[in-house]
Structure 1
Amino acid sequence: MRFIRPVILLGCCIFMLTGCGSLSKIKAKSSMEAMNRGDVDTYLKDWADDAVFIYPGNAAASGEVKGKKAIREWFDNWREMFPDLKFTIKDIYLKNNIYFGNSNVMAVHWEASGTNKFGRKVNSSGIGVVTMNGTKISKVQDYIFDAQKLKEFWGE
């Protein structure tokens, strides 16, 4: 009996130190791995049905996309344009490392490289700002460091 309290206390401390933030980071990494495999279904699994995606720049694909179905179509088009593009996560930042189901914001710093469907080499980097409500992603806004090249990347 005297060992039960320390074990419970230790478990609570571990949860508080690693918290929900660690789970969010794990999900972010697994989502990016899914995107690298071309598995859009898994990538969008944690997105809310009414989620919003904002893609920067002045390319035809730039702008705000609303609703999971429309976002799915956008990413299908994106994957067709960049069939072998691979992402590497450089850093993940959380606004609240410990949160209990309300909302949180995560920034994912990434680098990407590959070729577009025309054979042009593409290298880019940026930050995706992810807003989560409960366990679902409600908004993602990408900030691409070399956004002036997006039209070129998209073959426009």
Structure 2
Amino acid sequence: MIGALIAKQRAKAQFAARARGDIDQFLAAWTDDAALTFPGEPPWGGTHRGKAKIRKWFERFYERFPQAHFTAENIFVSNPLALTANNEVAVEWSATFGGRAERDRGVVVAKIRNGKAVNLTEYFFQPPRDPMA
């Protein structure tokens, strides 16, 4: 139970950093060789490996959407009894992108090893129009 509480608190802190566009704090919880994947064929899709490439992706994203704001709606932990810093966490989120009135939604699934994200897969249900073209 303690491991699940810690994992949820860390996920909330990650989303708070993401909501502020604080890439440094956001990436501090990732391993240097982490992978970020956007499945499907959106213009920003594919797998980005390594913290430097992931940083570049987020910098480009926030250049295009400086007013993007993400909110963690629900946080799920695969092993609530884990006593170590290894787990899988899924966060259902909503987001606004600048002047658009509607909220977009998605889920990010993270594999955490030794307290750091090693693999994240982000699923957008209604992605913003062509954000990375």
Task: Give the alignment's TM-score, normalised by structure 1.
Answer: 0.77
Is contact 1:32-1:87 (8 Å) kept? Answer: yes
Tell me: CA distance 1:104–1:88, structure 2 relative to 1, closer, same or farther (3 Å).
Answer: same
Matched, 1:79 2:79: no
Of the candidates 135, 140, 144, which is equivalent to residue 115 of structure 2?
135
1:4-153 map, 5 Å:
18-101=1-84, 103-115=86-98, 123-146=103-126, 149-150=127-128, 152-153=129-130
Ranges in structure 2 where 5+ consecutive residues have no aligned partner: none
Tell me: CA distance 1:87–1:103, structure 2 relative to 1, closer, same or farther (3 Å).
Answer: same
Q: Which has the larger radius of gyration?
A: 1
Q: Which amino acid aligns with 1:133?
A: R
Ranges in structure 1 where 5+ consecutive residues have no aligned partner: 1-17
Structure (1/2) with the larger helix percentage: 1
- Whole-Å separation in 2 of the counterparts to 1:58 and 1:35: 23
- Whole-Å separation in 2 of the counterparts to 1:145 and 1:61: 14
- Whole-Å separation in 1 of the counterparts to 2:28 and 2:91: 18
Bigger relative CO (Cα 8 Å, ≥ 6 apart): 2
- Whole-Å separation in 2 of the counterparts to 1:128 and 1:154: 18
Structure 1 stretch 122-131 or stretch 86-95: which is displaced more?
122-131
Q: Which amino acid aligns with 1:135?
A: G
Percent identical pairs in the alignment equals 31
Task: Give the alignment's TM-score, normalised by structure 2.
Answer: 0.89
